Chains A and B, each alone.
Chain A
């Protein structure tokens, strides 16, 4: 913590604020490590109190602070397991941060393959149910129903139970349902790029439309072209750390260089690129400016 510059006043009200957010998971590993008691009773006792020899803590995202203003389009890049999806899930509330808090001006909506539905119900029932769960009124759902069916491209299969759907079909339906609300804060996980060319075209068009209307957008993608195309600011994450935060061209260029060195096996030079990028990173520290009481939650 070296340079302490003057406090910058962020004008207006931002869309999303991450205040020292971190995420840690405790998972069980199958790797034999540490001391394991040979006495089965002792092993069981340790298990019951939750102190297992094989429990491993994974730091998915280290403490990160971020202020995202209205009109910004944030692209998130990084290798597999760098914390991109974790960050998205924390922002939209699918996971609870283990440290810090995420603040938003309205409920963020994630467009992706994660919006799981009820498998026993048919596609059309799931549309109504999903829309109700997002807080839409019955009249609004009826108005949007045919648009959702059309976007999903399911045609007659919409009346079949969802458990009979292929993974592509159900992810198309999920996308179509999530796209039905026009969210102020939109998160797009590019994993939704499943589906045939025809659906890709349609979903891209819908996404452009949503992006144009949204207050701010977060996009995760492995395609750097998509990121440069769609974002106004790019974050590069690696091993749960924010490495770089800035102009899409600059950040993607540095990341491209980094991965190029890695794929050639030059781990040392790759690390140097990363370190150089991190040296220029300015960590944000939030100073909440609160006059009057803050909202406790959203009144949907």
Chain B
């Protein structure tokens, strides 16, 4: 709205704009990736500092990062193994449950933290100008760091709780499996982070969606028992979370080499989600600054 009461004369100014860049402009995709790489120090420092500061007030400090999941697993053992004697028709049900729940916990944590990283990091976003993808990446890295003691606890529980599995060379396959699910989590985080920064309401629906995803991933039951329809089973087996849990169970509990289809499916989802997520997030780059 221009004030009409006073009409100001106009002076045309010819300005050399060659050396100027628009403030807050979104760089081209490759340049964006280069900028992200330059901010790797920020991402790593932020993740490490926050993981370690989370338990600083407690007497046992960082030991809780390991103790927490161990107690978690022992509780399952106490309830399902000692009190209820449940096996749900599954060999080593406690191991089955621990593997399913711990891996789910990592993925759910990574996705929900990553999805909220832009809205919860608003103060940092407003204060500094850096490629915003650094925040979801930082949140995922944070969860990956927290997953290290989680995985150690998972292995300990699988070894120590009856029936007590034997350590084998195949166990090394846990590492590539977890490395493959992480880019998938990151890709989904990117997509959700952009959506949530625009429509905050979605953040309230996220826990329900994640819960539904857990039920659809055979975390505490086996598909074979409930799903008889072959096509539906095929579809359920595409789920990358199910794939990674299945791979880890095969090598830890049943001394089986996972089928190549599981790896291929997992890899495809991981790569696809990461590329789509990053491009989608980058397209919204200018919209993450808001007053």
Task: Verify if A3 is at the interface (C-beta below 8 Å from B).
Answer: yes
Across the interface, do A7 and B13 meet the contact criterion of CB distance under 8 Å?
Answer: yes
**A257 surroundings in chain B (CB, below 8 A):** none
Would you give the shortest CB distance from A271 to chain B, in whole angstroms?
A: 9
**B91 surroundings in chain A (CB, below 8 A):** none
**B7 surroundings in chain A (CB, below 8 A):** 1-2
Bound-complex Cα distance A12 to B16 (A): 7
Residue from B17, B24, B49 within 8 A of A294 (CB atoms): B17
Size of the A side of the interface (Cβ < 8 Å), in residues, is 77
Across the interface, do A10 and B15 meet the contact criterion of CB distance under 8 Å?
Answer: yes
**A12 surroundings in chain B (CB, below 8 A):** 16
Task: Verify if A225 is at the interface (C-beta below 8 Å from B).
Answer: no
**A6 surroundings in chain B (CB, below 8 A):** 12
Across the interface, do A121 and B8 meet the contact criterion of CB distance under 8 Å?
Answer: no
Task: Verify if A4 is at the interface (C-beta below 8 Å from B).
Answer: yes
Interface set of A (CB-CB < 8 Å, partner B): 1-10, 12-14, 17, 25, 59, 62-63, 65, 67, 89-96, 101-105, 107-108, 114-118, 120-122, 125, 128-130, 132-135, 137-138, 161, 241, 275, 278-279, 281-292, 294-300
Across the interface, do A13 and B19 meet the contact criterion of CB distance under 8 Å?
Answer: yes
Give the segment of B25-33, B94-102, B204-212, B257-265 that binds chain A. B25-33
Would you give the shortest CB distance from B122 to chain A, in whole angstroms?
A: 8
Can you give 5 A-B contacts (C-beta < 8 A)? A62-B1, A65-B13, A116-B124, A129-B46, A282-B11
Across the interface, do A289 and B15 meet the contact criterion of CB distance under 8 Å?
Answer: yes
Interface set of B (CB-CB < 8 Å, partner A): 1-3, 5-28, 31, 35, 38-39, 41-42, 45-46, 49-50, 53-54, 123-124, 126-130, 286-287, 289-291
With known contacts A120-B50, A120-B53, A133-B128, A7–B12 Cβ distance under 8 A: yes
Across the interface, do A135 and B38 meet the contact criterion of CB distance under 8 Å?
Answer: yes
Residue from A62, A241, A285 within 8 A of B12 (CB atoms): A285
Instruction: Give B25's nearest chain A residue, CB to CB.
Output: A297
With known contacts A63-B2, A117-B123, A132–B41 Cβ distance under 8 A: yes
**A122 surroundings in chain B (CB, below 8 A):** 53
Bound-complex Cα distance A289 to B16 (A): 5
With known contacts A13-B19, A95-B289, A129–B49 Cβ distance under 8 A: yes
Across the interface, do A133 and B16 meet the contact criterion of CB distance under 8 Å?
Answer: no
Across the interface, do B39 and A132 meet the contact criterion of CB distance under 8 Å?
Answer: yes
